Amino acid sequence: MSYEKVLQAQKIIIGTKRTVKALKDGYVRELIVANDAEPKVTALVVNQAHEMEVPIIYVDSMKKLGKACGIEVSASAVAIIR
């Protein structure tokens, strides 16, 4: 499951703003996006990932994604970086 990918990743970036910057800089290997996040929040990062041809994996829950990242709040997007 994708939550396990996040748990096993050595380097991640949490949040849409930082992820968009990392995508533009070419550091992102995979993008994880929560399905229950507001589309207006994730649209920019998803579009940037498509533009940069970075694979996008969707997960069910922002809360579970945040927990997989080791944070106490929800996460809408997480980048696994090189």
pLDDT tens by residue, 19-45: 999 999 999 999 999 999 999 999 999
C-alpha distances in Å from residue 29, one per residue of 38, 40, 45, 54, 74: 23, 23, 14, 6, 21
Dihedral angle over CA of 18, 22, 23, 26, nearest 10: 180
Say which DSSP state 59 is in.
E
- Note the pLDDT tens digit of each residue in 37-80: 999 999 999 999 999 999 999 999 999 999 999 999 999 999 99
* Full set of structural domains in the chain with CATH: 2-81 (3.30.1330.30)
